[in-house]
Structure 1
Amino acid sequence: MMGKERRSALLMLALAAAVCLWASRDFLAMRERDRVFPAPGFRVEMLSSYLPDLKGTGMDTEVYVQEGPEKGGTVFVLGGTHPNEPAGYLAAVLLVENAKVRRGRLMVVPFGNASGFTHNQPQEASPNRLTFQLDDGSMRTFRYGSRDVSPLVMWPVPDVYVHKPSGQSLSGNESRNLNRSYPGDPDGSPAERLGFAIMELLRREEVSVAFDLHEASPEYPVVDAIVAHEKGMEVAAAAAMDLKLEGIEMRLEPSPKNLRGLSHREWGDGTGAVPFLIETANPSQGRLRGRTDERLVKTGLDKAYLKASSLGRLFVPYDQGGKPLDERVGRQLATLSALVSAFSMFDQDRGVEIRGIPSYQDVMSRGIGHFLRSGR
């Protein structure tokens, strides 16, 4: 009898070891950074240039810079503030791999919250990676991460997070949210140091217009929207009208003055940049969704959202076409392009001209993979 029990115990130990090995393989794979293949003309710098304490840490991240032959302003694009919002960071990657600057300068940080790409959001059962087939048959993968700075970098969290310098009190877990950390603190938490480094980039480089690329659930009121600081409302209104003429609906939302720590508020108050946050509708983030797999992230089609749409509970149109990732990335790029054009019209001295940005219709018809560069 003892021999049988021993064999059962050994079998259970072997199964536990196998599960641990499988889990550790996925855990280590999430720590491998996604590769980007910049278009000609880009150089690569590191965000730690603006705060040396980030160097060698999991918070440091790449800054891709391209300057055009004609003088103008500077456009800054931040993707990956929340690594479970893939349209934002994929739009930033497509910029780096396709853009050709004719006037001014373009600075892109595709993976802003680098540590957030090393893990998934707890209890969300999200996929680890998204895979895209390129025109030459090769494959590219990108991680699907977490909204927050990694707990391996920032733990424990306080019961209450007090935003600096406003004194605004938030849930303690918001201390790990990059988009509640601005204007940051060079001696603060990892999230606050990251926020400070981004603010330093905006200040030192005299950025003219800045973008923070996001996604939100279809039941969230501020979705398929441009959130604009008051000094950019005229630009945003002009861009929204241009987009409407193209058949792309983007609602315009003012940045709340009393909600602190967010990019569209603190960038505008604390730097010379005119900031915008772009928000597209991502059903894989929503509370109504079913199985959260790669199919849902890519197609955005879920029967619970179809039902919610029929009941009038969503803030965006939703039908059997879902909310595909191709559409969301195309919407991000089209909105960014329209805002840059409108800004350049209003402020001609700091205008920027960027060619090669994939159009909304092209991304919709050809897919994201068509515009990704092969590493071969």
Structure 2
Amino acid sequence: MRSHRAQDWIVLVLAAIVVVLSAARFAPASPTSLEVYPSPSLTRQTWLSDYNPALKGTPGDTPVLVFEGAEPGGTMLVLGGTHPDEPAGCAAALVLAENVMPEQGRVIVIPYANASGFTHNLPQEGHPSHYTLDTPNGRRTIPYGARLSNPVHQWPDPTVYVESVRGQKLAGVEARNLNRAYPGLQNGTLTSKVAYAITSLIREEQVDVSVDLHESSPEYPVNNAIVAHDRALDLAAITAVELELSGVAMNIEPSPESLRGFSHREWGDNTDTYAVLFESPNPAQGRLRGKTDEQLIIDGQDPMYVKASSRGRLYVPYTEEGTPLAMRVGRHIASIAALATSHTMLAPDRGIVLSGLPTYDELVSNGVGAYLSPGER
């Protein structure tokens, strides 16, 4: 009997060691680890709860950074981190916030739109909790979260999620998907409150152009794309031409009217903004990937995707060079710059002129870390 008890204790101790080691490997981000070091052009920092007081003191509240140029003009909103397991979106928003110097108009940046999603990982995905980049002044750790809000912060999931506009029915877990929650509910679930605050911000700040930064797996058909609301299609077309001239090819996808709760649909339907969403190819979130680690996030190289590409199974070009984070962030930053230029061409009195941003080629050559800071400037 004693030997059996001893064996039981040994098993429990070993299990505890495994849990501790796993926790060290997959420890979630805390709110204090959601760092951003704004450029000197920052004119105001506020919080998302200022646009929906129901968020105050919750894990959904997150910083809102406002950068204003000397010349009056229009306003652009850029969201990163809607899906925290799509790292180029958050990283591009950080590069934007830490380098942008507007000359005309304003840029509002929310780098961690779904702050709750950065505090956990999805079970069984094997994603790391963070990745680390070398910067000119040291190393910068950026959290890698989950597609959905943390269930600890919003529980339980309904059996069926019914979105608030047309009653579209989705899987229950989608209730925690920020990009299925728009236009949001002021006193709804945590995710819905976040969506409501962002929609309210667009209205109150009279945002001309709103951008939601995303990534998708290389086997997903909507990729290297601008998804645009009906009213934003002309703007998206001019932006795509601007990008093509600089060597960055982007497809244009109309926002489906039947898909509800999406930023590119509900922002455009419920506010006066021109709503677009950018997609870049991220193998770390694909179903065909191999080992999932920091290297895959940063280098974007996976032999399984090389094989899939050789068999015509992907919707983006994929070679042994992969799709590095620097390239994906470069696409987002180039797209933001081209969008601002295109909007200024169409509405000079509401122009948005940006400077200080690295080019696509500079990001690809120098890496994302070259344009980030690990501490105060």
**Structures share fold, TM-score greater than 0.5:** yes
Structure 2 vs 1, CA of residues 127 and 25 (structure 1 numbering), >3 Å: closer, same or farther? closer
Aligned to 2:68: 67
Identity of aligned residues (%): 49
Task: Give the partner amino acid of 2:78.
Answer: V
Q: Which runs of 5+ in 1 are unaligned?
A: none
1:40 Cα offset (Å): 0.7
Q: Which residue is 1:249 aligned to?
A: 249
Q: Aligned with 1:193: secondary structure?
A: helix
Q: What is the number of residues matched between the two proteins?
A: 374
SS class of match (2:210): strand
Spell out, residue by residue over 1:259-278, the C-alpha distance to the aligned partner (whole angstroms, 9 max, x if none): 11100000011111111100
Q: Distance in 2 between matches of 1:82 and 1:29?
A: 15
Equivalent position of 1:78 in the other structure: 79
Q: Match of 2:298, as an amino acid? A: K
Please list the CA deviations of residues 14-69 of structure 1 after superposition, one character each: whole Å capped at 9, or x if unmatched: 32333344445566652242211111121321100001111111000000111111
1:295-350 CA distances to partner (integer Å, 9 max, x unpaired)?
Answer: 11111111111111111111111111111110000001001111111011101121
Q: How does 1:1-376 map to 2 (within 5 A)?
A: 2-24=1-23, 29-31=28-30, 32-42=32-42, 43-136=44-137, 138-375=138-375
Normalised to the residue count of structure 1, the TM-score between the two structures is 0.96
Check whether the contact 1:34–1:141 (CA below 8 A) recurs between aligned residues: no
Distance apart, 1:228 and its partner CA: 0.6
In 2: Cα distance, 1:255 partner to 1:375 partner:
39
Deviation larger for 166-175 or 58-67: 166-175
Unaligned 5+ runs, structure 2: none
When structure 1 is superposed on structure 2, of 211-220 and 244-253 the one drifting more is 244-253
CA 1:28–1:129 in structure 2 vs 1: closer, same or farther (change >3 Å)? Answer: closer
SS of residue matched to 1:71:
strand
CA contact (8 A) 2:54 2:187 kept: no
- CA deviations over 1:72-123 (Å, ceiling 9, x no partner): 0111000000000000000000011100011111110000000000111121
In 1: Cα distance, 2:174 partner to 2:19 partner: 30
In structure 2, distance between residues paired with 1:34 and 1:189: 22
Secondary structure in 1 matching 2:33:
coil
SS at match of 2:343: helix
Cα deviation, 1:121-153, whole Å, max 9, x if unaligned, reads 1211011111001123x1100111000010001
Change (3 A) 1:24 1:295: closer
Amino acid at match of 1:13: L
- Is the contact made by 1:186 and 1:193 (CA closer than 8 Å) also made in structure 2? yes
